[in-house]
Amino acid sequence: MPYVVIFIGPPGCGKDTQANLLVDEYGFVSIPSSQIIRTKFAENPDDPIIQEQKKLYDSGKLNSPEFVASLIIEFVRPLAESGKSIIFSGSPRVVDEAEGEIHQLSDWYGVGNLIVIHFDLDEVEARRRASTRRLCRAQNHPFPNTPELEWMKTCPKDGSEIYVRELDNPEKYTIRLSEYRKLTEPCLEVFKKAGIAIHVIDASRTIEAIHHDIANLLERNQEPVL
């Protein structure tokens, strides 16, 4: 039975890194919300409504929930119809978006097959990680700025350039973190009310330790799938 995993946590807590590990190890399909949004911007340069959304995105603020939810649902529909297990690491970001997506995901997958993992990380560490992380331009594969990876200039998965995002500079990160605390964290209450299991993970540890706990959690909750 296919299922849905949703990661929620502050910017820089490692959601994308852990999502990529599950994709590689278990064959999940990751829902690249930021990439989906940026693709929409690039494909509609003359649409004033979509370009207004782009201005919000570029400033570090969140896009409208209706805009994002519609893009996500459009992207996920064929995956659900083909029975693919999926993972979210960047959506939902606000309560209205969560309510719209959860309603549709519950219809497609069933509430019992939806799992939320809450990454718990203090602000100082989240800010430090965000300020030093790098991504590849093609697929946004994350590369923590650790000694064993700092030499990398191109992504080994797709060959694209590895770079530091403008969105992760200190000023914009402050905006993004404030938006997360004010708008995204309340999504946890939406999940609870919908009867979705929520599990808290200590995100201050190593990538390997966090992945180990997540894998064990999924095996306990969804053993037949794995």
Radius of gyration of the chain measured on its C-alpha atoms: 17
Report the pLDDT value the prediction gives residue 32, as an integer from 0 to 100: 81
Q: How confident is the model at residue 224 (pLDDT cuts 50, 70, 90)?
A: very low
Asked if pLDDT for residue 211 goes beyond 90, the answer is: yes
pTM of the model as a whole: 0.78
The 10s digit of each residue's pLDDT in 168-198 is 677 778 888 888 999 999 999 999 999 998 9
DSSP for 96-147? HHHHHHHHHHHHHH-GGGEEEEEEE--HHHHHHHHHH-EEETTT--EE---T
Expressed in percent and rounded to 5, the helix, strand and coil fractions of the chain are 55, 15, 30
Is 70 exceeded by the pLDDT of residue 144?
no
**Mean pLDDT, range 138-148, rounded to an integer:** 69
- Name the band, by pLDDT with cuts 50, 70 and 90, for residue 226: very low
Is residue 102 within 8 A of residue 191, CB to CB? The reply is: yes
Over residues 77-121, the pLDDT tens digits come to: 999 999 999 999 888 989 998 998 999 999 999 998 999 999 999
> Can you list the positions of beta strands (E) in the chain?
4-8, 29-31, 86-88, 114-120, 134-136, 142-143, 162-163, 197-202
Phi first, then psi, for residue 191 (nearest 5°) are -65, -45
| 166/121: higher pLDDT | 121
Q: CA–CA separation, 61 vs 56, rounded Å?
A: 5
**C-alpha distance from residue 127 to each of 13, 122, 177, 180, 200 (Å):** 9, 9, 9, 13, 20
Residue with token string 């599990």: 199
The number of angstroms, rounded, from the C-alpha of 98 to the middle of its chain's C-alpha atoms is 13
**Residues of the chain with pLDDT > 90: what percent?**
40
**Domains of the chain, first to last:** 4-121+183-222 (3.40.50.300)
Q: What is the pLDDT of residues 6-20, one digit of tens each?
A: 999 998 888 988 998
- The three-class DSSP label of residue 154 is strand
